[in-house]
Amino acid sequence: MMRFATAIVITLLTLGGGTLFAANYDFEIFTDNGNWGVNGPNFGDENLNLFVEVYNGFETASFKFRNESGPSLGSVSITDIYFDNGTLLGISSVESGPGTSFSKLATPTELPGANLLEPDFVTNDQFSADSNPPPSKNGVEMGEWVIIHFDLKPGGTLADVLSELADGTLRIGIHIQSFPDGKSESAVHVPEPATMCLLGLGGLVLIKRRKV
């Protein structure tokens, strides 16, 4: 997916004596199966907008996957979700939003095309989930969402998770089905968050990011 100039907004507020971290990441396709693959004519389509919002419950990490693609993408759907390494301890629950139906443990067990990445994407401790049959219909279609809640390793924090997402220690992969050409593609999160906010003590900071 194309990356554009954006502003990272960091907001610091008091919330129940704790600190709430949140960041919103987009995804970039790395496979080459069809028109939306890395060598396809529609690679970088501005209408393909898939995101994961990462936030915490003070001893957990939650990952909300959203599909905000344009109508030209039809019924394109996130159907499989994978996690590679990091501070995560285990999936505590999967919360399916309206129109979606997901369960723990994806089939296939590894992100399709995982060996195309460097290093290979290896799904950690069965940290995966996928949509129930029919997969595209129950996946994250336009305007829908699904949340995967994780427990963290002892001593782990959301700050650790965000740091790992930034440096590649933790990667998030998704399998996307029902492109208009009938093909599917795989994507990984882009390390730079599209937006970020931290709730704790302090003020408001705006950081501009140059176009890539």
Q: Is residue 4 pLDDT above 50, yes or no?
A: no
Of 26, 43, 124, the closest CA to residue 78 belongs to 26
Mean pLDDT, the chain, integer: 85
Helix (H, G, I), strand (E, B) or coil at 68: coil
Give the pLDDT of residue 14: 32
Q: Is residue 181 pLDDT above 50, yes or no?
A: yes
Tell me the per-residue pLDDT of 107-161, one tens digit each, with 9 for 90 and over.
999 999 999 999 999 999 889 999 999 999 999 999 999 999 999 999 888 889 9
Instruction: Report the alpha-carbon distance of residue 6 to residue 80 in Å, rounded.
Output: 28
Give the pLDDT of residue 212: 33
* pLDDT band, very low/low/confident/very high, at 76 (cuts 50, 70, 90): very high
Q: What is the mean pLDDT of residues 54-59?
A: 80
Q: Is residue 204 pLDDT above 50, yes or no?
A: no
Least confident range of 27-41, 87-101, 130-144, 197-211: 197-211
Q: What is the mean pLDDT of residues 177-199?
A: 87
Residue ranges in 25-157 assigned as alpha helix (H): 135-138
Do 186 and 31 touch, CB atoms closer than 8 A?
A: yes
Do 22 and 197 touch, CB atoms closer than 8 A?
A: yes
How big is the CA angle at 75 (ends 195 and 107), to the nearest 5 degrees? 85
Give the pLDDT of residue 197: 61
In a domain, residue 191? The reply is yes
Q: Is residue 73 pLDDT above 50, yes or no?
A: yes
Percent of the chain clearing pLDDT 70 (strictly above): 81
Domain range for residue 110?
A: 6-209
In a domain, residue 1? The reply is no
Give the pLDDT of residue 21: 61
What is the Rg, in whole angstroms, of the alpha carbon atoms belonging to the chain? 17
- pLDDT greater at residue 205 or residue 171: 171
Instruction: Report the alpha-carbon distance of residue 64 to residue 53 in Å, rounded.
Output: 5
Q: The tokens of 73 are what?
A: 């993408």
The pTM of the full predicted model, rounded to 2 decimals, is 0.85
Count of structural domains, the chain: 1
